[in-house]
Structure 1
Amino acid sequence: MWRQETDSKLSDIKTSVEDLLRQNTEILSSQSETEKSIEFLSLRYDDLLQQIGSQQMRTQALLERVAKVEAATEDIDRRSRSSTLEFRNIRLPNKTPCVEDLLTAVTCIFKAISVDVNKSDIYDIYKLPSRSDGVTIVCRLNSVLLKVKILQAFKDYNRRNINNKLYSTIVGGSQHPVYIGEHLTPQSRRLFYLAREYAKAENYKYCWTSGGRVMLRKADNTKLVMVTSEGQLSGPQSKN
């Protein structure tokens, strides 16, 4: 009887041990599969990181090419406007002016600021769309040198006549100030606006354009700063 009980207990123990061994084998097998899965995922992760890095490099290269194309396009556009002027805030008697009216207006202005300009010096002339009474006349000349001469004469005229600057009365319109400036590209126009705002905020004495490029100078004896991007107007590089 005792032997039977002992044999039965030993059999139960053996069965339990076998069950434990089987479970342990299954656990080890499962652990092996898990390790294989982790290794696969790790390799896959490294592969994805490599692909992302490669894609970022291609994207960066593409952005650099786009920036170069935009810079080249901007340069071409700026050069095409190198001999072109804008006459802004012109008040004309005729609300729907024709080309002859525009020619007459700019001719009157040229005479007022004492610059000799013939009709043959003007390559093209037209007005820009406007929602106000002030008209902007775009005048393309045949010479960059003549454009520079006109701009200087306009500055000299207003400097000599501080209390009686150039007004639209010269062309038969109402008494509103006339402005003459370069015909800037859209990008340069925005940059010029931001530069003027920056100059006011940071107490810069000079802000102007030359050859379609935006310039800043803090004071008479300070370094000239050429503004080529909006980032310059918020960083330390423009504080000279």
Structure 2
Amino acid sequence: MGTPIDNKSMSNPDLSDNADTSNVNVRKRKNRLDFDDMTSLQSDIREMLNNFKADRDAQNTKLYAAIDDLKAQNKEIIKTNSKIEKILEDTTLLYNKLNDKYEKMSTEHDNAMIKINSLEEQVEALQRAQSAAMVEIRNIPDTGNEDLSNLIAVMHGSLGLSFSPNNLKHVRRLKTAHKKQIIAEFQTVQQGTALLQAVKEYNKLHPDNKFNTLNLNIEGEKQLVYVSESLTPRARKLHYFARDLRKNHNYKHCWTRQGNVFVKQTDTSQPILIKSEQQIEALKAASVCQ
């Protein structure tokens, strides 16, 4: 009985030596693998961080470069704006100077125009005074060797007016294309006015046989003779426009007296003294509105 007990006690070391230790070895290998994996993971993470940092640094470098470019552009813009502001200041200053100069010139121009108009009025008054005693006789043919003083005398006689050669200050035929215009200047305005009035009365009394070349003993075909005031160039132009006003804008009368031009819209309306072309245009516009 004692022997089996000894056998059992002797078998314990064997059991210990022969025991299966595979589980222990596996655990040790797994622990080594986990450590290696962790090291590799850390290395990967470190590499990723380094790459990220490198990318970030590269992006930051580009960003800083872009910021530097923007700063440089901003400086250029500020510099350009300063130049523009300076140009605007200079332009404004120049504009103000030019505007002041223009206003000064405009004032001088207005003053000059006032003086010119005043001078024109004075010249017109002198010309009218000089031509007040002159009479225009038109449509008398040039017969060659004519005595114009005698022609004026015959005209007075045919109209029943007294005449003396001393009444005439000067008489001449104008060198126009047809040489049919004669200017007779009398010693007084009244002498010229008397001749004008006599022709006007004759034509009223003889509407079908108005004053003509036969009244002056001029041979040839009968031609109407027109006698009127000698107008200044300005008055002649106004008279032309006034006749157009009478013809086309319902004005009944148009005439001249002492170098002035008058119109009347009806027999009973007041005479209108024509002083300018602008006045003619205003009368035309008013007649259209009526």
TM-score by length of 2: 0.72
Q: Deviations over 1:78-106 (max 9, x none)?
A: 100111111111235x3243xxx111111
Partner in structure 1 of residue 26 of structure 2: none
Partner in structure 1 of residue 121 of structure 2: 71
Any unmatched runs of 5+ in structure 2? 1-46
**Which amino acid letter does the alignment assign opposite residue 95 of structure 1?**
G
Partner in structure 2 of residue 102 of structure 1: 148
Cα drift, residue 201 of structure 1: 0.7
Distance change (3 Å), C-alpha of 1:142 and 1:11: same
Q: Is the 8 A contact 2:245 2:284 kept in 1?
A: no
**Which amino acid letter does the alignment assign opposite residue 167 of structure 2?**
D
Instruction: State the SS of the aligned residue for 1:140.
Output: strand
In terms of fraction of residues, the more strand-rich structure is 1
Q: Is the 8 A contact 1:225 1:238 kept in 2?
A: no
Which of these residues, 162, 172, 187, is aligned with residue 126 of structure 1? 172
State yes or no: 1:38 paired with 2:88: yes
State yes or no: 1:189 paired with 2:222: no
Query: Is 166-175 or 219-228 further displaced after alignment?
Result: 166-175
**Which amino acid letter does the alignment assign opposite residue 125 of structure 1?**
V
Instruction: State the SS of the aligned residue for 1:104.
Output: helix
Distance change (3 Å), C-alpha of 1:5 and 1:82: same
In terms of fraction of residues, the more helix-rich structure is 2
Q: Is the 8 A contact 2:238 2:277 kept in 1?
A: yes
Instruction: State the SS of the aligned residue for 2:191.
Output: helix
**Which amino acid letter does the alignment assign opposite residue 108 of structure 1?**
V
Total equivalences in the alignment? 235
Cα drift, residue 129 of structure 1: 1.4
Q: Deviations over 1:15-49 (max 9, x none)?
A: 55444434323322222222222222222222222
**Which amino acid letter does the alignment assign opposite residue 115 of structure 1?**
L
Instruction: Tell me how far apart the structure 1 counterparts of residues 286 and 75 of structure 2 sit (CA, whole Å).
Output: 73
**Identity percentage of aligned residues:** 24
Any unmatched runs of 5+ in structure 1? none
Distance change (3 Å), C-alpha of 1:21 and 1:145: same
Q: Is the 8 A contact 1:199 1:206 kept in 2?
A: yes
Structure with more relative contact order (C-alpha pairs < 8 Å, separation 6 or more): 1
Report the RMSD for the aligned CA atoms in angstroms.
2.6
**Which amino acid letter does the alignment assign opposite residue 189 of structure 2?**
V
State yes or no: 1:179 paired with 2:226: yes
Instruction: Tell me how far apart the structure 1 counterparts of residues 285 and 55 of structure 2 sit (CA, whole Å).
Output: 97
Partner in structure 2 of residue 83 of structure 1: 133
Distance change (3 Å), C-alpha of 1:22 and 1:88: closer
Partner in structure 1 of residue 205 of structure 2: 160
Partner in structure 2 of residue 227 of structure 1: 274
Instruction: Tell me how far apart the structure 2 counterparts of residues 224 and 125 of structure 1 sit (CA, whole Å).
Output: 32
Q: Deviations over 1:146-177 (max 9, x none)?
A: 22222111111111122222111122323111
Cα drift, residue 8 of structure 1: 5.6
Cα drift, residue 187 of structure 1: 1.6
Q: Is the 8 A contact 1:90 1:135 kept in 2?
A: yes
Q: Is the 8 A contact 1:215 1:226 kept in 2?
A: yes
Q: Which has the larger radius of gyration?
A: 2
Partner in structure 2 of residue 25 of structure 1: 75
